[in-house]
Structure 1
Amino acid sequence: MARLGAGHRPGPGGPAIRSRTSIPTAAEASAWAEVLVRRRLLHAAVLAPTGQWLVQSAPEAPVRVLDGPAAMVALAAQIQHHTRTKRNRTR
């Protein structure tokens, strides 16, 4: 079980979510992209030379363009939230 930092108390639904205090890096965005593709939560995620991310949710889905690391990390958070919410509804 993960430990909570000082000042963070679990809420009724589990551990408290800490807010970000730093801007996501390219390395962090790459790590999240790799995890999302490996776990088949995204079909593809490719870093473009411009620093933008090209993502595709399914083979036949349109390609979305994300504006950098912060957008990729935000997408990862959105997918994670959706996955957890869906899992809790089926319990």
Structure 2
Amino acid sequence: MIPLPPRPSEPTSAEASAWADVLVRRRLLHAAVLAPTGQWLVQDRPHGPVRVLIGPADVLALAATIQHHTRTTRPEIR
């Protein structure tokens, strides 16, 4: 696997918002809401626990984790 180059800057709220929207629309998360404090409240499933993510970098890390899990657990189709 080729390592990714370092990011030129920290993730923005707009980037985190875009990823949160994709995760919710694809039903990989039940909800992701930006709080006035800049924290993100995420919920995996209805009636599940709400997790607090500190900021945009944590949202992108969650998106990467979900993407990795999705890619490594589905059967490969060729």
Question: Same fold, TM exceeding 0.5?
Answer: yes
Structure 1 residues 30 and 20, CA, compared in 2 at 3 Å: closer, same or farther?
farther
Choose from 57, 61, 73 the match for 2:48. Answer: 61
Partner of 1:49: 36
1:1-91 aligned within 5 A: 11=1, 16=2, 18-21=4-7, 22-87=9-74, 90-91=75-76
Query: Which residue does 1:7 correspond to in 2?
Result: none
CA distance in 1, matches of 2:70, 2:47: 21
SS for the counterpart of 2:5 is: coil
Give the letter for the 2:72 counterpart. T
Show structure 1 runs of 5+ residues with no match.
Answer: 1-10
TM-score between both structures, scaled by the size of structure 1: 0.77
The whole-number CA distance in structure 1 between the counterparts of 2:3 and 2:18 is 20
Relative to the length of structure 2, the TM-score reads 0.89
Instruction: Give the count of matched residue pairs.
Output: 75
Counterpart of 1:6 in structure 2 is: none
Q: CA deviation at 1:18?
A: 2.1
CA drift of 1:17 comes to 5.2
**Structure whose CA Rg is larger:** 1
Q: Cα RMSD between the aligned structures?
A: 1.2
Runs of 4+ in 1 over 3 A off after TM superposition: none
The DSSP-based 3-state class of the residue aligned with 2:42 is: strand
